[in-house]
Amino acid sequence: MSDYARERASFSWESVRAELDGLPGGRGLNIAYEALGRHVAKGHGDQTAIIWLGKRGERREVTYADLDSLTNQFANLLANQGVEAGDRVYSLAGRIPELYVCALGALKHRAIFCPLFSAFGPEPVAERLNLGEARVLFTTERLYKRRIAGIRDRIPTLEHVILLADPKKPDKPEGTVDWAEAMGDASLEYEIGATGPDTPALLHFTSGTTGTPKGAYHVHEAVLTHYATGKLALDMHPSDIYWCTADPGWVTGTSYGISAPLANRVTMIIDEAEFDPKRWYQILEEEKVQVWYTAPTAIRMLMKTGPELPQSKDLSALRFMGSVGEPLNPQAVIWGQEVFGMPFHDNWWQTETGGIMIANYASMDVKPGSMGRPMPGITAGIVREGDDGRLREVDDPSKDGELALRPDWPSVFRGYWNNKERYDACFRDGWYLSGDLARRDEDGYYWFVGRSDDVIKSAGHLIGPFEVESVMMKHPAVAEVGVIGKPDPVAGTIIKAFVSLQSGHEWTEELHRELIGFGRKNLGTAAPREIDFVESLPKTRSGKIMRRLLKARELGLPEGDTSTLEGGDS
């Protein structure tokens, strides 16, 4: 995008649709076909689609033609199991090639693909499987034994568990389908059925401050946003070497770790291993990465290691660096310029938006700390409630308000699974309300101010305090729990819990260690990193825990209005 104003003026979603092929015979629009089949049909089947780097040093290349055939097999595998269009197909796996085959094969079959983060504990996994009424789960033998075996009888809709088993162990767990055997029985040919633009495709769970996680679902038409934003916001070009470090268990790892890059016909790097600075810089150098999309937490961790390591590498192939997950602090943008010779380009979007809505573009000056300017095709605004009760846009750059979008882009979510009331509450007076507070400066750049609720964003992941509190209260010693996000120089925010105990229990170092371990076992990455004992939690008269007050006291901030506090002034 060489000229932002000209692109916005000439942009239309109809023109984006014209750049994609659609299913042969005019049978609609399918994400998997736009990601694979159309490229193979045009003679690009020999191009590498995936370069997979195993954590033990393995390296595997998968071409577009190979990936197209493998995903045909998985679509046929689902059909052979009696799985129908619209059924929910979940994955619980690390970043292995089979996970990507599962995702694209499910989309070909017009099932709804729902990825789960492999570090989730059994309780979050069970909750999400039940909320989305999972019919199929793809996982590995190790994760099945650790996460699923003990909860499977609590998931009545789960009929099929497709297991990537250890080939050295011939006896697979009872009640599972062996991946290798089932794939071997499946045909390499598959014709994608008619796929309307509003056919459900993806289900992603996001947490709020109260209640259960929300399952936001998106449709196949979302590929228009993925394709366009990949080009315009992330500067993807066909045959680029591209690395999105996000796990597909989160929406970034699906929209920009599967759909957008493949729709733009790039070669994707997939690294199975966890974060390691030396490994990351080695990948950037050896694989000649041109476009790199990562998270502020990772950038801050790289900053801690200093400039010597990246400056010792040949990173001359690197052309564009993007960041997403939480606001990127200005120091990180400046550090990128100093160390890599280019800034990190922050952008903003949400699970509900399905794709990038506001971004810093390659052709524009970056204002460190800003989320950038709206994508072509996206109408954004800062809104406040007027005297008449209706939302009004705020034009004053010095004033903040709620960041809102006109809900007319292709990847906007179409509902929360089985929760119309929560979905409807996101829309008002012709706007989608993001729940984020922001301001817009005189140049049209948007600046994040804060969340309008208590949701915790830790290491780029949204975590609902209610969910954490509910699980921690299952420990027999715990009476009540209040959870907050606490600033951390590396993770950005960590989860801290305050607990009061059941009678008959005393706070000891042994119990403290036990609770930390209990959280890790049952919540995985959503577990509290810190736990403090309190005699009682501050509550409103109606019994709601005042997390705001917990956070103010922890950080030494003004407590604000406490008139609704239980036992407070009348």
In order, the DSSP letters of 313-381 are: S--TT--EEEE-SSPPPHHHHHHHHHHHSS-EEEEE--TTT-S--EE--TTS---TT--BEEPTT--EE
Nearest to 167 by CA among 155, 178, 154, 153: 178
Cβ atoms of 90 and 65 within 8 Å: the answer is no
Cβ atoms of 103 and 145 within 8 Å: the answer is no
**Phi-psi label, residue 175: left if phi above 0, alpha if psi -120 to 50, beta otherwise:** left
Looking at residue 159, what is its pLDDT?
97
Residue 450's SS3 state is strand
| Cα–Cα distance measured from residue 306 to residue 478, given in angstroms and rounded to the nearest whole number | 42
| Cα–Cα distance measured from residue 253 to residue 91, given in angstroms and rounded to the nearest whole number | 13
| Cα–Cα distance measured from residue 7 to residue 15, given in angstroms and rounded to the nearest whole number | 12
The number of CA neighbours under 13 Å toward the Cβ of 385 is 5
Cβ atoms of 296 and 488 within 8 Å: the answer is no
Residue 416's SS3 state is strand
Strands (E) across 211-340 are located at 214-219, 241-244, 267-271, 291-294, 320-323
Residue ranges for the chain with pLDDT beneath 70: 208-211, 453-454, 459-460, 462, 540-544, 560-570
Looking at residue 562, what is its pLDDT?
53
| Cα–Cα distance measured from residue 266 to residue 8, given in angstroms and rounded to the nearest whole number | 25
Give the contacts of 101 (CB within 8 A, at least 6 positions apart): 67, 70, 71, 73, 74
CB atoms within 10 A of CB 138: 28
Place of tokens 């699923």: 148
> CATH topology for 4-437?
Rossmann fold (3.40.50)
User: Distance from first CA to last CA of the chain, Å, rounded?
Assistant: 59
Tokens of 178: 């062996």
Looking at residue 377, what is its pLDDT?
97
Domain range 456-555, CATH architecture? 2-Layer Sandwich (3.30)
**Domain residue ranges of the chain, discontinuous segments joined by +:** 4-437, 456-555
Tokens of 21: 């092929």
| Cα–Cα distance measured from residue 470 to residue 479, given in angstroms and rounded to the nearest whole number | 11
| Cα–Cα distance measured from residue 259 to residue 103, given in angstroms and rounded to the nearest whole number | 10
Tokens of 493: 């925010």
